[in-house]
Structure formats: structure tokens, C-alpha cells
């Protein structure tokens, strides 16, 4: 096939393809802040997050033709990212994870605990919320087992619909909902624990 | 439908309520209870603010300097 000189049609096709690829790459790069933000919450450290984002873009740039223009590029990138992260997680987490999924305490456990620390009677919710530092939230989220954390990060932080999260993670929508429900309770449980560790 | 402990039932409805996935009937049920129960109302408001707070807390960290350049360098050169 290399013998004959490229026809004008070939040249045009190649030029169009190159333009489409450049456009794809530029659009993907514009989303990198958002992709990093999700990666940072899925991975344990900044370094891991950085690695994960680089691997994601490497793969995305290589397989750009699999992306259907006009569909959700952010979701497509995050699907690559979560798959890479899940593969990594499987490797690292061979030994059974014995995190107690203590969600029996319900949804109000954290509120009740924080409210008890506010001196005034019937404080408004902002006063209660002030008991939590933003750093403690970042740390608590990192403690949530990753199956649960993935859905919290996608839905509550990344603003994805249940359906998008289900597509990205390759799990049924009902599983997204139940993990989200339970994951939020685990997160609050972790936050409640961080408050008692701080003492006072 | 009656519940032995309306506040416990209201707690069960809190997440789906804030996610806007309750049925119309359940929604009315939750709101009727919230109208008359300051205790639950305060907790709902807290949960709503907590979601915003969580999002803010985890979104403030900027992307590491240089990562953007590293990603741009991964682009496949033309030709």
C-alpha cells in the first residue's frame, strides 16, 4: 500500500483526522482540573493521583478514536480513570479488607455528636458544622473504603447522575444508590471519630 | 401509613429526600413531618449544609504545578 502516492482524498482524510485528534486532545486537557480533583479523592496521595491522571491521559490519547464525539468526554475520561484505579486497588488490596462497615448508627449520629459539643441550646446548623475542619473532611473521605468512596466522589463531588456513575464504574444503578447511601454514613462515622480524636 | 417512630422514619427518608428521589407521596409525608418537627428539621438542614461543605473541602486543593504540562507532553505528535 505504500507504493502509490496518496490521493488528494487520502490527504484530506488524514488532515481531517489530525484536526479531530487535536481537538479531542485539547478538550480533554481542558478537563484536567476536574479529572485531577476526582483522582485526588480516589487515590490515597497526591503522587498516586498524579500518576493516575497521567496514565488516564496516556490511555485516552492512545484510544481517542473510541470516543464518540458529542458524548460526555468528562465521563469517558473518568471511566478510564476509575478502571485504572480499580485495577490498582485490586492489586494493592489482595488481603481482605476488614474495615467495619459500621453504619448502624444511622444518619444523625454525627449531628448528635457535634451538637452535644456546642454550648448553646438548639444551635443552628452552621454552628454545628463549624465543629468540623475542612481538613478533617479530606482525611475522613480517604478512610472510606474505595467501593463506597468511588460513588461519593462521582456523585456528591463530581456531580454525576446515578446513571453516569453506574456507567463509569460498570455497576448497576441500584448498587450506585445503595453504596452512596451507605458510603455517606461511613463518611459521617469517620468524621464523628475524628471529632473524638481531637478531644476537647 | 403510620410509623411507630415518625422521627426514625423521617431519618430513613432524609438521604432520598435530599437526592430528590422520593415519590410524591413520600415527599408529602416527609414534609408534613418536617413542618411540625423542629428536631428533624434541624438535622435535615445540617445534612444539606454538610454536603455543600464536603464538596468545598475536597475541591479546594489545586492541581499540582506542572501536571498540566506533563499531560500536554503526552499528546501524540502529528506525523
Which residue of B9, B12, B39, B46 is the best one to mutate when testing the A interface, meaning the one whose CB has the most A CBs within 10 A? Answer: B46
Residue A102, pLDDT score: 54
> Cell digits for B7?
422521627
List chain B domain ranges. Answer: 6-73
Dist. CA A177–CA B64, nearest whole Å? 32
| Number of residues that this document lists for chain B | 79
B65 touches chain A (CB under 8 A): no
Please, what is the average pLDDT of chain B?
89
Residue closest to B74 by CA, chosen among A79, A88, A55: A55
Using a CB-CB cut-off of 8 Å, the residues of chain A touching B78 are 18, 22
- CATH 1.10.10.10 region(s) of chain A? 109-198
End-to-end, the C-alpha distance of chain B in Å comes to 69
Domain ranges in chain A with CATH number 1.10.1740.10: 8-92
Mean pLDDT of A87-106: 57
Query: CA–CA distance from A6 to each of A14, A148, A181 (Å)?
Result: 10, 53, 58
CATH number of A8-92: 1.10.1740.10
Do residues A58 and A81 touch, judged by C-beta distance below 8 A? no
Of A54, A108, A128, the CB nearest to B74: A54
Mean pLDDT of B46-68: 87
Cα torsion through B51, B55, B57, B63, rounded to 10: 170
A54, A61, A107 member nearest B70 (Cβ) = A54
Task: Kindly report the CATH class assigned to A109-198.
Answer: mainly alpha
Most confident of A54-58, A126-130, A142-146: A54-58
* Per-residue model confidence as pLDDT tens digits over A170-192: 899 999 999 999 999 999 999 99
Grid coordinates standing for A102? 459500621
- Tell me how close the Cα of A114 comes to any Cα of chain B, in angstroms: 11
Chain A residue whose CA is closest to B50: A129
Output A45 or A95, whichever has higher pLDDT.
A45
Tell me the per-residue pLDDT of A130-163, one tens digit each, with 9 for 90 and over. 889 888 998 899 889 888 999 999 999 888 899 9
Amino acid B4: pLDDT: 77
Does pLDDT of A4 surpass 80?
Answer: no
B52 touches chain A (CB under 8 A): no
For residue A2, pLDDT over 60 is answered with no
Residue A157 C-alpha, separation from nearest chain B C-alpha, in angstroms? 5
Segment B5-20 shows an average pLDDT of 92
Rounded-to-integer distance, Cα A163 and Cα A71, Å: 14
Q: Give this complex's ipTM.
A: 0.83
Mean pLDDT computed over A79-93: 78
The C-alpha of A93 sits at a distance from chain B's nearest C-alpha, in angstroms, of 24
Residues of A with Cβ-Cβ distance to B45 under 8 angstroms: 124-125
Across the interface, whether the CB atoms of B15 and A181 are under 8 A apart is answered yes
Contact between chains at B71 and A32 (C-beta distance less than 8 A): yes
Name the nearest CA neighbour of A141 among A97, A196, A68, A194.
A194
Q: Residue A122: its pLDDT value, please?
A: 81
Amino acid at each position: 500500500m505504500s507504493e502509490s502516492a496518496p490521493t488528494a482524498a487520502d490527504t484530506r482524510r488524514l488532515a481531517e483526522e489530525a484536526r479531530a485528534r487535536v481537538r479531542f486532545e485539547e478538550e480533554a486537557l481542558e478537563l484536567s482540573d476536574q479529572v485531577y480533583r476526582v483522582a485526588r479523592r480516589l487515590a490515597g496521595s497526591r503522587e498516586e493521583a498524579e500518576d493516575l491522571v497521567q496514565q488516564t491521559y496516556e490511555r485516552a490519547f492512545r484510544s481517542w478514536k473510541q470516543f464518540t464525539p458529542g458524548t460526555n468526554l468528562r465521563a469517558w475520561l473518568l471511566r478510564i480513570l476509575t478502571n485504572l484505579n480499580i485495577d490498582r486497588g485490586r492489586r494493592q488490596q489482595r488481603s481482605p479488607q476488614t474495615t467495619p462497615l459500621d453504619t448502624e448508627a444511622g444518619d444523625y449520629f454525627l449531628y448528635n455528636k457535634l451538637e452535644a459539643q456546642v454550648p448553646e441550646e438548639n444551635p443552628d446548623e452552621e454552628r454545628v458544622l463549624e465543629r468540623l475542619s475542612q481538613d478533617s473532611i479530606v482525611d475522613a473521605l480517604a478512610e472510606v473504603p474505595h467501593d463506597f468512596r468511588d460513588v461519593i466522589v462521582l456523585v456528591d463531588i463530581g456531580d454525576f447522575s446515578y446513571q453516569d456513575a453506574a456507567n463509569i464504574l460498570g455497576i448497576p444503578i441500584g448498587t450506585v444508590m445503595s453504596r452512596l447511601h451507605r458510603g455517606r454514613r461511613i463518611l459521617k462515622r469517620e468524621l464523628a471519630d475524628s471529632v473524638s480524636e481531637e478531644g476537647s | 401509613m403510620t410509623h411507630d417512630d415518625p422521627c426514625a422514619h423521617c431519618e430513613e427518608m432524609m438521604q432520598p429526600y435530599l437526592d430528590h428521589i422520593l415519590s410524591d407521596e413520600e415527599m408529602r409525608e416527609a414534609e408534613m413531618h418536617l413542618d411540625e418537627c423542629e428536631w428533624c428539621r434541624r438535622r435535615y438542614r445540617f445534612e444539606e449544609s454538610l454536603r455543600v461543605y464536603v464538596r468545598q473541602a475536597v475541591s479546594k486543593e489545586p492541581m499540582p504545578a506542572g501536571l498540566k504540562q506533563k499531560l500536554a507532553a503526552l499528546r501524540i505528535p502529528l506525523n
